[in-house]
């Protein structure tokens, strides 16, 4: 009898515990775990395609590649480093940093530090004698500098006159840049040079009362969490804005994402959408240039490249896909590519300096990346 009573007590206790547990579970909210995609959690098709790309790089079909980072809709989906490079490596961004100079000028205009792109350059350098000596130089506007149509006697695209190499050994890069003589009427001829963005840095510095390094840190880098980088400076203390800025691959991706976010980072406005639209709307044809064609890709139909305010545009056109790429480009294969229609930011860093092989990144883009993520 006592044994039966004990069994009943145990059974009732178990029923009571079950009711308590069910009651508690009724009030526990259901949480959905959302994982950021990475190379290990990608869909099978995508993962397979990117594995093929990686294998091709390791077979040296694409030489000199140091890193590739891809994000989709703001989340990293592929990140890989080669040739001993790591996520903490500082890459020489070369001329892709010119695009950052464009952002800095936009920020200066947004904040009323600089009025607009139609201002004459000489007004920011009242003591510079070169403007007084050359009436043609007095007609250069900020817009002319941004579009590489200043008319200054430099041409680094075709190697006719490499003013950057002439500038580097001097003690004051800004003063040198302002002293280079004119060759064309401003606004007429596209002629690529690092002299133009160097003058842009002087405009920002003189108008803001800060060095370009201080300005960039305050208004762009710190708000975006970019803290590990290295400027190249001259003996006079001017930061180089035409290139030679060292930055992590992940931070290059942030610059591209800022474009896709229409100038907003973590809910904070960094640069106006109006400026981004103006600076990335490229209407200036680059003579006889198609990055897709130079990559020797065999499936895309080569389209001409265009230039904006230190940003490039080129259309990718295949039998199954058409999209516009807005990108920053630096010697050796330093690319920050954005494809708005796919929500993609693609970063390449390379060591293919002075070689056509740098453009092979666009073959990887067309052959592997777009098919994987479209």
In the block, residue with structure tokens 């959408």 = 273
Per-residue model confidence (pLDDT) at position 119: 99
Mean pLDDT per 10-residue segment, the chain (374 residues): 40 41 34 34 74 96 98 97 98 99 99 99 96 95 99 91 95 98 97 98 99 99 99 98 98 99 98 99 94 96 97 94 96 98 98 97 97 93
Per-residue model confidence (pLDDT) at position 44: 64
Neighbours of 2 (CB within 10 A): 6
- 3-class SS of residue 265: strand
In sequence order, which residues have a C-beta less than 8 Å from that of residue 111 and are 6 or more positions away? 219
What is the pTM assigned to this prediction? 0.88
296 touches 308 (CB < 8 A): no
* Vertex 36: Cα angle to 33 and 38 (nearest 5): 135
Per-residue model confidence (pLDDT) at position 42: 52
Q: Which of 256, 258, 233, 221 is nearest to 172 (CA)?
A: 233
Q: At what angle do helices 97-110 and 195-208 cross, to 10 degrees?
A: 30
Q: At what angle do helices 97-110 and 273-280 cross, to 10 degrees?
A: 140
Helix (H) or strand (E) holding 348: strand 344-350
Per-residue model confidence (pLDDT) at position 159: 78
Neighbours of 36 (CB within 10 A): 10
* Vertex 283: Cα angle to 280 and 289 (nearest 5): 100
109 touches 116 (CB < 8 A): yes
**Can you list the domains of the chain with their CATH numbers?**
34-88+249-374 (3.40.710.10), 90-247 (3.40.710.10)
Neighbours of 329 (CB within 10 A): 24
| Phi and psi at residue 57, to the nearest 5° | -65, -45
- 3-class SS of residue 313: strand
Per-residue model confidence (pLDDT) at position 320: 86
Distances (CA, A) of 250 to 40, 104, 137, 231, 338: 18, 19, 40, 17, 14
């Amino acid at each position: 009898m006592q044994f039966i009573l004990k069994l009943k007590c145990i059974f009732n206790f178990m029923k009571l515990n079950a009711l308590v547990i069910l009651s508690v579970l009724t009030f526990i909210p259901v949480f959905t775990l959302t994982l950021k995609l990475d190379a290990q959690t990608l869909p099978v098709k995508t993962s397979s395609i990117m594995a093929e790309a990686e294998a091709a790089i390791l077979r040296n079909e694409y030489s000199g590649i140091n890193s590739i980072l891809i994000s989709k809709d703001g989340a990293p989906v592929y990140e890989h480093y080669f040739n001993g490079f790591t996520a903490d490596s500082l890459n020489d961004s070369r001329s892709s940093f010119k695009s950052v100079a464009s952002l800095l000028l936009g920020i200066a205009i947004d904040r009323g530090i600089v009025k607009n792109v139609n201002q004459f350059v000489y007004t920011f350098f009242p003591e510079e004698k070169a403007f007084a000596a050359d009436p043609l130089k007095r007609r250069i506007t900020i817009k002319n500098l941004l579009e590489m149509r200043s008319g200054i006697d430099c041409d680094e695209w075709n190697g006719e006159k490499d003013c950057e190499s002439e500038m580097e050994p001097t003690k004051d890069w800004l003063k040198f840049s302002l002293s280079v003589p004119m060759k064309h009427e401003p606004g007429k001829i596209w002629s690529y040079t690092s002299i133009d963005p160097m003058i842009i840095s002087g405009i920002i510095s003189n108008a803001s009362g800060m060095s370009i390094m201080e300005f960039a840190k305050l208004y762009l880098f710190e708000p975006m969490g970019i803290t590990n980088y290295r400027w190249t400076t001259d003996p006079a203390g001017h930061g180089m804005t035409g290139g030679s800025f060292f930055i992590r691959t992940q931070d290059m991706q942030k610059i591209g994402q800022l474009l896709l976010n229409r100038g907003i980072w973590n809910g904070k406005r960094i640069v106006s959408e109006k400026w981004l639209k103006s600076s990335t709307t490229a209407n200036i044809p680059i003579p006889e240039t198609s990055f897709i064609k130079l990559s020797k890709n065999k499936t895309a139909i080569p389209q001409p490249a265009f230039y904006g305010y230190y940003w490039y545009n080129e259309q990718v056109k295949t039998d199954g896909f058409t999209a516009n790429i807005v990108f920053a480009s630096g010697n050796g294969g330093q690319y920050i590519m954005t494809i708005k229609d796919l929500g993609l930011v693609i970063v390449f860093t390379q060591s293919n300096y002075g070689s056509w092989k740098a453009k092979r990144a666009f073959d990887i883009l067309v052959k592997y990346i777009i098919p994987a993520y479209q």
